[in-house]
Amino acid sequence: MYKMETERVTQEIRRRGAKRVLVQLPDGLRPAALTLAETLKETTGAEIILSGDSCYGACDLSLNQADAIGADLIIHYGHSPMMKTEIPVVYVEAHIDFPVKPLVDELLPHIEGWSTVGLTATVQHAHKLAEVAEALESTGRRCLTGKGRGSTPHDGQILGCDYASAATIADDIDGYVYIGAGRFHPLGLGISTGKPIAMANPYLMTADRLNDKDVMRLAMKRMAAITAAKEASRYGVIVSLKPGQYRLEAARALVSRLEKMGKRATVICLDEAGTISLGNFTEAEAFIDTACPRIAVDGVADISKPILTTVETQVMLGDRKWEDVWGSSYLD
The residue ranges that bind ligand SF4 (CB under 6 A) are: 56-57, 59, 159-161, 244-245, 292, 294
What is the smallest separation between the CB atom of 30 and ligand SF4, expressed in angstroms?
17
* Nearer Cβ to ligand SF4 (72/298): 298
| Gap between the Cα atoms of 256 and 15, Å rounded | 49
* Nearer Cβ to ligand SF4 (104/158): 158
What is the smallest separation between the CB atom of 296 and ligand SF4, expressed in angstroms?
11
8 Å CB contact between 180 and 197: no
* Nearer Cβ to ligand SF4 (83/205): 83
8 Å CB contact between 276 and 326: no
The string of DSSP letters for 201-256 reads ETTTTEEEE--HHHHHHHHHHHHHHHHHHHH-SEEEEEEE-STTT--HHHHHHHHH
What is the smallest separation between the CB atom of 175 and ligand SF4, expressed in angstroms?
22
What is the smallest separation between the CB atom of 56 and ligand SF4, expressed in angstroms?
4
* Nearer Cβ to ligand SF4 (136/308): 308
* Nearer Cβ to ligand SF4 (44/192): 192
* Nearer Cβ to ligand SF4 (63/104): 63
> Pick from 76, 138, 77: which is nearest to 104 by CA?
138
What is the smallest separation between the CB atom of 49 and ligand SF4, expressed in angstroms?
23
Element (H, E) at 269: strand 264-270
| Gap between the Cα atoms of 159 and 129, Å rounded | 16
| Gap between the Cα atoms of 255 and 267, Å rounded | 7
What is the smallest separation between the CB atom of 260 and ligand SF4, expressed in angstroms?
28
Between the alpha carbon of residue 175 and those of residues 111, 140, 189, 238, the distances in Å are 8, 15, 10, 34
